Amino acid sequence: MSHRTRCALFLFIVPALATAGEKVAATVNGEAITAAELDAAVGQLPPAAAPLSAAQRQQQRADVLQLLIEDRLVRQYLRQHGPKVDPAEVDKQFTALEASLKGQGKAIDDYLKECGLTAAQAKENFLRMLQLARYVEARAGEDKLRSYFEANRDFFDKTTVRTSHIVLRLPPSATPAERQKAVEKLKAVRADLAAGRIEFAAAAKAHSQCPSAPNGGDVGYIVRKFQADEPYAKAAFALPVGGISDVVETDVGYHLIWVTDRKPGKPAKYEDVAAEVRECFEAELKQVLVAELRKTAKIQIMN
């Protein structure tokens, strides 16, 4: 899921207390994410270009649930540690929304009903958004943004690399022994590749647990950030064309990555892409915050 999609859903569904007997999809530090909330969030996604299979719908639902978990973690953090916001600022945002809707011939009550929100919940949304904006603002100084631009020139220059991979998937609950077994298997495959005993495409077809396996593991071109998991993208962009990575760990498991092509982009000037730099910096800052919060969070996903 792209960072733009993630940001679009971020801080949109206002949590409600689960009532007795209501189905719960997950709990985050004791707070419930109800199945109804999950259904509502899935319903906000744009229609798919083609009908999804049952497995694809299940994966889509799992992806959205992870977004709601992240949303809940950030809400909890902001509730406890977020910057102070004057209630008048929240009211101003709500009034602006009401005026905007009126200009479109829509009533605020109808809009809220369509979104499944009460006025109080909408104001709660504005409060957390304002807090999050201030959290980012305090960390997004000009020097930081320019340093971020320099550190991520491949992305802003729009350089792309084409990769194939072999992935062994593991759930977050995998034991250390299961993880070590996957690493050792991929190390053995890499040794066979280095010795010329097997071609990468054949190895991917034989071992990779990815829909790309029948195509020799080819997943096409990627940009430096947000399109692929950061460890994957970082390893891919560090390789020369024809290079094969060591074993790379991501949230889904372990990979061997083969870079098959690289297309240099056009050198960008900071002044020309400053707005994009800020947007990406903010998205990554949120990701870092969520990653830190996950380390100590108690998250339970219901079957």
User: Cα–Cα distance between 162 and 191 in angstroms, integer?
Assistant: 22
22 & 75 share domain? yes
Q: Express each pLDDT in 139-162 by its tens digit.
A: 889 999 999 999 999 999 999 999
Comparing 72-86, 250-264, 279-293, which segment has the lowest mean pLDDT? 279-293
214 & 250 share domain? yes
Q: Locate 129 and state its tokens.
A: 């958004």
259 & 282 share domain? no
Higher pLDDT, 102 or 303: 102
**pLDDT surpassing 70 at residue 13:** no
The DSSP bridge pattern shows strands 299-301 and 24-28 to be antiparallel
Residue 269 lies in a domain: no
The number of beta carbons lying within 10 Å of the beta carbon of residue 39 is: 14
Domain ranges, residue 18: 3-47+54-141+277-301
Burial class (CB in 10 A: 0-12, 13-18, 19+), 87: exposed
Residue 2: what pLDDT?
Answer: 38
SS3 156: helix
Domain holding 97: CATH number?
A: 1.10.4030.10
Domain holding 248: CATH number?
A: 3.10.50.40
User: Cα–Cα distance between 24 and 34 in angstroms, integer?
Assistant: 4
Q: Express each pLDDT in 182-214 by its tens digit.
A: 999 999 999 999 999 999 999 999 999 988 999
Residue 114: what pLDDT?
Answer: 83
40 & 66 share domain? yes
**pLDDT surpassing 70 at residue 116:** yes
Could you tell me the CA-to-CA distances from 108 to 115, 124, 226, 269 in Å, in that order?
11, 16, 35, 43
Q: Locate 107 and state its tokens.
A: 């009533």
| 165, β-bridge pairs | 257
Residue 158: what pLDDT?
Answer: 94
If phi > 0 it is left, if psi is from -120 to 50 it is alpha, else beta; for residue 151 that is: alpha
Residue 131 lies in a domain: yes
pTM of the model: 0.66
